[in-house]
């Protein structure tokens, strides 16, 4: 029998590599992980239950301006902090590609909101990847300053989701 943490690690490994499909059998239990292609992701996203994507929370498309050399370069996906004029904020980033959910169910309130205090074990959101709900922990003690992703939004690996002011 596979443990949840083992399954999560396998999903992360498949997500971060060029492997498209992984199949493992242990003690009579068979685990198959398949990375969807881009068309499957779009189709699954469009077929998602509307209860998870309230109309008022769907994010409008953003226009990204190219860097012309006059601006500072954008932070790399692996960076954990962003420099602010008055303090240093920690970024909680997505560990995988998936759908971002702020609450455990459509009827429930969000796990965290700006101004909330978190510990390193506080659950801040859920990332749904390949039909699995993965709870994301803050991994830092501090205060939530800003939520950077919208409920129901597709997020990329390394995409900043929250800004936290460390204690």
Question: CA-CA distance, 147 to 100, in Å (whole number)?
Answer: 11
Q: pLDDT confidence of 125, banded at 50, 70, 90?
A: very high
Q: Is residue 28 pLDDT above 80, yes or no? A: no
Q: pLDDT confidence of 109, banded at 50, 70, 90?
A: very high
In this prediction, residue 68 carries a pLDDT of 53
Question: Hey, what are 53's tokens?
Answer: 């994507």
Which uninterrupted H or E stretch holds 7?
helix 4-16
Q: pLDDT confidence of 77, banded at 50, 70, 90?
A: very low
Q: Is residue 101 pLDDT above 80, yes or no? A: yes
Is pLDDT larger for residue 152 or for residue 36?
152
Q: Is residue 7 pLDDT above 50, yes or no? A: yes
- Straight-line distance from the first to the last Cα atom of the chain, in angstroms, rounded to the nearest whole number: 39
Helix, strand, coil shares of the chain, percent, nearest 5, are: 15, 35, 50
Q: Is residue 131 pLDDT above 70, yes or no? A: yes
In whole angstroms, what separates CA 111 from the centre of its chain?
14
Greatest extent of the chain over all pairs of C-alpha atoms, in Å: 59
Average model confidence (pLDDT) for the chain? 76
Q: Is residue 75 pLDDT above 80, yes or no? A: no
Among the listed residues 114, 75, 106, the one whose alpha carbon sits nearest the alpha carbon of residue 93: 75
Domains of the chain: 4-35 (no CATH), 79-166 (2.40.50.100)
In this prediction, residue 22 carries a pLDDT of 78
When pLDDT is averaged across residues 138-153 and rounded to a whole number, the result is: 94
Q: Is residue 52 pLDDT above 50, yes or no? A: no
């Amino acid at each position: 029998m596979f443990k949840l943490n083992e399954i999560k690690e396998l999903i992360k490994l498949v997500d971060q590599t060029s492997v498209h499909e992984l199949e493992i059998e242990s003690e009579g239990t068979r685990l198959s992980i398949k990375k969807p292609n881009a068309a499957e992701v779009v189709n699954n996203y469009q077929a998602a239950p509307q209860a998870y994507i309230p109309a008022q929370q769907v994010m409008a498309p953003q226009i990204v301006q190219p860097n012309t050399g006059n601006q500072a370069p954008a932070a790399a996906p692996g960076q954990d902090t962003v420099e602010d004029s008055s303090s240093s904020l920690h970024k909680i980033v997505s560990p995988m590609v998936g759908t971002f959910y702020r609450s455990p169910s459509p009827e429930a309130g969000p796990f965290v909101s700006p101004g909330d205090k978190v510990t390193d074990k506080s659950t801040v959101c859920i990332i749904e990847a390949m039909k699995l709900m993965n709870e994301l922990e803050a991994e830092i003690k501090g205060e939530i300053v800003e939520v950077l992703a919208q409920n129901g939004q597709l997020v990329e690996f390394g995409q900043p989701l929250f800004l936290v002011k460390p204690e």
